[in-house]
Amino acid sequence: MLRHLIIALLIISWSHSNSQMTILQEDFEVFPFEGWTDYQDNFGSNWQQCWQNDCGYNGGKSAHHYLCNDGCNKWLVTPQLNVSTSTTVFTFLERFDEFAVQYYEYSGVSISTGSGDPFDGDFVEIYTNDPADLPISWVERTLDLSSYVGQDVFIAFHFNGYWHEWFVDNVAFGPSTFVDAGITEFINPIGTSPDLGIQDIQLIIQNFGTETIQEYTIDWEVNGVVQTQFDQSSADLSPGQSSTVNIGQFDFDMEGDYEIMASLNVMDDFNPANNTLANLYYVTSEKDAAIVSIYPNGYLPDTGIHDVQVEIINEGGTTIQNVNIEWQVDGVDQIVYENGDLNLLSGESVIVTLGQYNFTEGIHELNADINASGEVNPENDIRVDYAAINTFWESFEGSQYPPEGWQTNWGLKETGFLPAPHGESYHFAGTDNNFFGVALDTLFTPVLEVEAGDQFSFYRKSSTFFPGTLNLVWKDAINNEVSVIQSNISSGNDNFNQVTIDIGSFAGLGKIGFAFSSGSYGEQSIDLITSDANIYQWPIDLSIKQYDSDYLARSGDSNLSTVRVKNLGQSTLSGSDYIVRLMTTNGIELTSLPGQDIEEYEELIFEFEYDFPSIGEYKVVAEVVIVGDEFASNNSTRPFRINSVPSDVILVDIGSPDYL
């Protein structure tokens, strides 16, 4: 389990060199562009990777910018660079879309010897395009930086306008002549294999400089053990050329994780930062561990020390024993969690405690990254969530939707083309009024405790082509009466705009609702909701958070289901205070379990086994029974349909487990 250690070392090396980078080469084939920063002064289209129809130079991809209905002032800024010689130049290829040049406003290149943020005012223009001579085919530009020798600089591509489209590719920064070679990738062995035995160690080196390279050596080691040096005396490697090199063999004679490290040595190499590369090779069966959720997430009433936990699921076909989990709170690394005896079977999940953290009031970002030995699917390894400590705040980034305590009719959690005010996701309401009827959506917050002077803030976006109406309402938590806070709330079309409303006149306990409607089809979105008011904790409030069961159950066999119970009240409850049970919608109890002691905001999982006595459809509800619960609306789930089938029926999963 070495992957994360190696990544950490590489990141440290990159960060150290950021303020002293003397060479930069970027072809925009990987997005997001590493080390680059996108700055904007409004919402709308950003600098993006163009990947369709071979829009890059000689095919491939490029950076491009286009389409800002409200006007854009967008900057794509390099990492910090050092102009180390008087021959240092900045070169790039550019072109414009021939059908959009008529809308051209401005495009240029600027440089800063101070801040990398263009809105701090340190950038000065060093190149701009002639509106009368915009190239629609690729043209190379070379900018002389000799007047900045010895200085650290940021260089930015600056787009300003509405609808013209600008493409940029093959950016290079460095001396006009120099020697530079680097190792770009390992090609064997890579990934995971269960097979033991001898393997060729192969990698690719590339000449990034301007001079032909004949001689070089490569030092390499496996798990810290030095191997025989590879020598090359007649490479004849031309500028820009790559070569596959077999540097030797190694006998992978036992299961485990193997770190292969290689370092290239070239005389007079101007940029040694790209000379070393690490590769992890796993000799084991393939594994797929995923992080489902992080705790705490969402609202938490109390500051102080809390356990930080993750739920892990084995989405592969073989048992997972060895994992490590790197985790951070607000970007600060915590002690890595390691477990060599997890014994997580295929399809099973488990909650593990990573450690503890002292949470202060406010918003905290939690990040966890799992690595199982033999991991083959890194896309589900990382989970990011947010904990709002004694603070009302919601941006719909969590794993649960609607978020805990929220209610919606038809709303969806959506990730859109345009950037959201926070994160990637937001609440989307699609309403309609047509021949078939009226479809409305109301998104309700949890119960809030509002005091005089409290403000309520959110970001709203409404479609230009499919506009909708938004009313903000108040639903009293005691008598359920609904009042209008503000009607016909307006905001800019197609972009998120902040709305702030005084809710102090509704002092008391209640929910705030976003009531969406439209004259025909309408699209509206809401994100980043905050308030001075806070979520109210009832003295006793036990909630059913989740009920999981198979849709099909063999009659005569035990059907396994799980129920998550969460204590949202103000104090610890004894197990004797409540029971958890499964009921049919016509009031028949199927089975029950006694409660367990549960602390404030703690979650517990109850596992049920039940044999459905007859064949047919059952509509099952999970509920908690407790005396004195002051918010009983969350004591049960919606009906869950389970079909009991004959015991000799063979059940076969079809398709991805994500859609079963």
Rounded Cα distance, 351 and 355, in Å:
12
Compute φ and ψ for 634, nearest 5 degrees: -105, 20
Q: Kindly report, residue by residue over 378-416, the tens digit of the pLDDT.
A: 999 999 999 999 999 999 998 888 998 999 988 889 887
Whether the full predicted model's pTM is greater than 0.75, yes or no, is: no
- The whole-number pLDDT of residue 374 equals 87
User: What value does the mean pLDDT take over residues 358-365?
Assistant: 95
One domain, residues 197 and 239: yes
User: Is residue 658 a contact partner of residue 288, using CB atoms and an 8 Å limit?
Assistant: no
- The whole-number pLDDT of residue 133 equals 93
One domain, residues 530 and 478: yes
Q: Kindly report, residue by residue over 62-92, the tens digit of the pLDDT.
A: 999 877 766 788 999 999 999 999 999 999 9
The verdict on residue 494 lying in a domain is yes
Q: What residues contact residue 626 under an 8 Å CB cut-off, 6+ apart?
A: 540, 542, 573, 577, 578, 595, 635
Rounded Cα distance, 137 and 571, in Å:
69
One domain, residues 509 and 578: no
One domain, residues 278 and 295: no
- The whole-number pLDDT of residue 245 equals 97
Rounded Cα distance, 620 and 640, in Å:
5
Containing domain of residue 49, as a range?
24-175
Given 239, 263, 283, which residue is the final one in a domain?
Answer: 283
- The whole-number pLDDT of residue 533 equals 95
Higher pLDDT, 4 or 539: 539
473 pLDDT above the threshold of 70:
yes
Q: Based on the structure, what is the number of domains in the chain?
A: 5
Residue 480 belongs to domain with CATH number: 2.60.120.200
Question: In the Cβ-directed half-sphere of 215, how many Cα atoms lie within 13 Å?
Answer: 3
pLDDT band at 11 (very low <50, low <70, confident <90, very high): very low
Given 535, 564, 597, which residue is the final one in a domain?
Answer: 535
The verdict on residue 6 lying in a domain is no
- The whole-number pLDDT of residue 45 equals 66
Residue 327 belongs to domain with CATH number: 2.60.40.10
- The whole-number pLDDT of residue 7 equals 31
- The whole-number pLDDT of residue 43 equals 57
- The whole-number pLDDT of residue 653 equals 61
The verdict on residue 83 lying in a domain is yes
One domain, residues 434 and 293: no
pLDDT band at 9 (very low <50, low <70, confident <90, very high): very low
pLDDT band at 1 (very low <50, low <70, confident <90, very high): very low
Rounded Cα distance, 127 and 109, in Å:
5
Helices (H) and strands (E) in the chain, counts: 1, 51
Rounded Cα distance, 189 and 140, in Å:
38
- The whole-number pLDDT of residue 110 equals 98
- The whole-number pLDDT of residue 495 equals 85
One domain, residues 233 and 251: yes
326 pLDDT above the threshold of 80:
yes
One domain, residues 303 and 243: no
User: What value does the mean pLDDT take over residues 229-254?
Assistant: 96
List residues bridging with 265 in a β-sheet: 217
The verdict on residue 160 lying in a domain is yes
The verdict on residue 189 lying in a domain is yes
320 pLDDT above the threshold of 50:
yes
Given 146, 175, 204, which residue is the final one in a domain?
Answer: 175
* CA pseudo-torsion sign 93, 70, 493, 37: positive
One domain, residues 39 and 167: yes
The verdict on residue 491 lying in a domain is yes
Q: Kindly report, residue by residue over 414-431, the tens digit of the pLDDT.
A: 887 667 898 889 999 998
Q: Kindly report, residue by residue over 90-123, the tens digit of the pLDDT.
A: 999 999 998 888 889 999 999 999 999 999 999 9
User: What value does the mean pLDDT take over residues 221-228?
Assistant: 97
